């Protein structure tokens, strides 16, 4: 496993966009979506340290609701009327970021 790298996450999220749209959305805009995802985690207790790791390891249930996360990000993006990100582009980008997260090493993070 590797450590989280924003550039890699941005690259994978951009890859979900049609070529003609990928050039219209800056890395900063995509990074803003990553920030929204992590804001969601923080506000929903997903970043809290779980003292009983065995429960999480044995559970197939995600610690959060993906649909709720996507809805949250769509709502946040909609607040920024200048955002070039279209509503139908958000879900694939969020899912790409979540897939990327699954490939990184979280055991050694502080």
Per-residue pLDDT reduced to its tens digit, 21-69: 999 999 999 999 999 999 999 998 887 776 455 444 545 444 679 999 9
The Cα–Cα gap between 8 and 50 comes to 27
Confidence (pLDDT) at 105: 72
The model scores a pTM over 0.85: no
Please identify which residue in the block is written with the tokens 């055991």.
107
CB atoms within 10 A of CB 51: 6
DSSP-derived letter for residue 80 is: -
Dihedral sign from CA coordinates of 86, 88, 91, 97: negative
Coil, helix or strand at residue 70: helix
């Amino acid at each position: 496993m590797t450590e989280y790298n924003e550039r890699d996450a941005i690259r994978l999220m951009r890859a979900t966009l049609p070529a003609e749209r990928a050039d219209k959305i800056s890395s900063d805009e995509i990074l803003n979506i990553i920030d929204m995802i992590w804001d969601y985690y923080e506000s929903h207790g997903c970043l809290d340290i779980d003292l009983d790791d065995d429960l999480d390891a044995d559970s197939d249930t995600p610690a959060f609701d993906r649909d709720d996360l996507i809805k949250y990000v769509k709502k946040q993006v909609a607040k920024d009327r200048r955002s070039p990100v279209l509503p139908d582009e958000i879900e694939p980008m969020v899912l790409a970021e979540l897939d990327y997260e699954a490939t990184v090493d979280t055991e050694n993070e502080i």
